[in-house]
């Protein structure tokens, strides 16, 4: 009699656990959907103002050695994101034509992947630049070495190469695991991606921490100010999501969904932060502040 009760209660408990997990995942899915909708709306609203602000502020960037990084993200937002959203709109309007819609969906997925890679590259680049500025700022004046245009170009190339290696290896192993129906390899591949992604995120968090220990002496140009603001905003938001992810893992509350948000939110978060910081920038005040500092030193 006891055995019969155990066998009948076990499936009920499993069903309750599944329903609870489903409820938690639906809550997180709804919250993430709302967050993506807000970020998407911010992008649409900010897009024309960003293009105008960037052109107006371009003179204040001057001959900054960080310009390759800045223009890299500018072109990504201006061209790649614009085409991606146009394709998504076409996908909804042509859904009654399956063959054409499939063609549009394929191209939109390619642009989505390119945008994902671009945001990762930019985020890593501004993190490394911030860390370098911190290390350089700690040196004596005669030992300081600013990044040259050649340094920045090489850095950008190496970051692009490392991100491509990370993503391509993930895609290859994921495709192999799916074709072979190798569940353990699939799980290991996902874990590999999460670990490598978090290693790159450590650069962002390190840049966020060291930035608060610096004064304005290390960041008195428009390009420097923009990168500092973006590192602080992106890093702070990602840190909050990381804390939520850790708590969800410890409490078994939809940790997989929250982990996916932590990895994928950069697709919208990075361009939105870049756009709004450029719109809100006041480079004229920055230039006057820098001139006053030079005069006071004289």
Structural domain includes residue 159: yes
Question: What per-residue confidence (pLDDT) applies to 161?
Answer: 95
The alpha helices in the chain, defined as continuous H runs, are: 2-61, 67-75, 82-93, 98-138, 149-180, 183-211, 222-251, 255-264, 266-280, 283-297
- Output the pLDDT for position 34: 87
- Would you say residue 175 lies in a domain? yes
Residue 234 structural domain = 2-293
Q: What is the pLDDT of residues 166-201, one digit of tens each?
A: 889 888 888 888 887 777 888 888 888 888 888 899
Determine the 3-state secondary structure of 281 from DSSP.
coil
How do residues 11-70 score in pLDDT, each as one tens digit? 766 666 666 666 666 777 787 788 888 999 999 999 999 999 999 998 888 888 999 999
pLDDT in tens, 70-110: 999 999 999 999 999 999 889 888 888 888 888 999 999 99
Q: What is the pLDDT of residues 250-277, one digit of tens each?
A: 887 777 778 888 888 999 999 999 999 9
In this predicted structure, what is the pLDDT of residue 22?
67
Q: Is residue 116 included in any domain, yes or no?
A: yes
Across 14-23, 135-144, 191-200, 229-238, the highest mean pLDDT is recorded for: 229-238
Amino acid 85: pLDDT: 92
What pLDDT is attached to residue 4? Answer: 46
pTM of the predicted structure, to 2 decimals? 0.85
Residue 215 lies in a domain: yes
The whole-angstrom separation of Cα 78 and Cα 52 is 11
**Is the separation of the CB atoms in 83 and 47 below 8 Å?**
no
Q: What angle do CA 218, 224, 230 make, to 5 degrees?
A: 120
Q: For residue 265, give the CATH number of its domain.
A: 1.20.1070
Q: Domain count for the chain, please give it.
A: 1
DSSP 207-236: HHHHHTT--GGG--SHHHHHHHHHHHHHHH
CB under 8 Å to 202, separation ≥6 — which residues?
none
**Cβ–Cβ under 8 Å, residues 171 and 116:** no
Q: Would 298 be classed as within a structural domain?
A: no
**Distance, CA of 176 to CA of 2 (rounded, Å):** 47
User: Can you give the pLDDT at residue 297?
Assistant: 43
More confident residue, 228 or 184: 228
Tell which residue, 196, 57, 197, 207, has the closest CA to residue 131.
207
Task: Out of 3-12, 240-249, 268-277, give the one with best mean pLDDT.
Answer: 268-277
Q: Does a structural domain hold residue 207?
A: yes
298 pLDDT higher than 70: no
Question: What residues have CB less than 8 Å from 245, skipping those under 6 apart?
Answer: 255, 258, 259, 262
Closest to 266 (Cα-Cα) out of 101, 36, 83: 36
**Residue 221 within a domain:** yes
Burial bucket for residue 170 (CB in 10 Å: 0-12, 13-18, 19+) = middle
Q: Is residue 278 part of a domain?
A: yes
């Amino acid at each position: 009699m006891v055995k019969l009760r155990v066998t009948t209660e076990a499936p009920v408990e499993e069903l309750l656990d599944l329903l609870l997990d489903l409820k938690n995942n639906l809550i997180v899915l709804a919250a993430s959907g709302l967050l993506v909708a807000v970020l998407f709306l911010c992008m649409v609203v900010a897009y024309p103002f960003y293009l105008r602000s960037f052109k107006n502020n371009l003179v204040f960037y001057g001959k900054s050695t960080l310009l390759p990084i800045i223009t890299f993200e500018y072109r990504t937002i201006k061209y790649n994101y614009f085409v991606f959203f146009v394709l998504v709109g076409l996908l909804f309007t042509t859904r009654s034509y399956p063959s054409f819609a499939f063609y549009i969906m394929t191209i939109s997925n390619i642009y989505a992947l390119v945008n994902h890679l671009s945001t990762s590259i930019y985020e890593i680049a501004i993190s490394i630049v911030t860390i370098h500025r911190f290390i350089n700022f700690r040196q004596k004046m005669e030992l300081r070495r600013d990044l040259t245009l050649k340094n920045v170009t090489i850095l950008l190339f190496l970051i692009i190469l490392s991100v491509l290696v990370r993503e391509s290896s993930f895609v290859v192993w994921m495709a192999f695991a799916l074709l072979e129906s190798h569940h353990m390899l699939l799980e290991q591949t996902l874990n590999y991606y999460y670990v490598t992604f978090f290693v790159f995120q450590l650069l962002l968090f390190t840049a966020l921490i060291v930035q608060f220990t610096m004064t304005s002496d290390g960041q008195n140009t428009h390009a420097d100010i923009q990168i500092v603001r973006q590192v602080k905003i992106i890093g702070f938001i990602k840190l909050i999501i990381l804390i939520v992810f850790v708590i969800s893992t410890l409490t078994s509350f939809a940790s997989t969904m929250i982990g996916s948000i932590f990895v994928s939110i950069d697709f919208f978060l990075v361009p939105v932060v870049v756009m709004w910081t450029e719109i809100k920038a006041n480079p004229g005040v920055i230039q006057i502040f820098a001139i006053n500092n030079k005069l006071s030193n004289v």
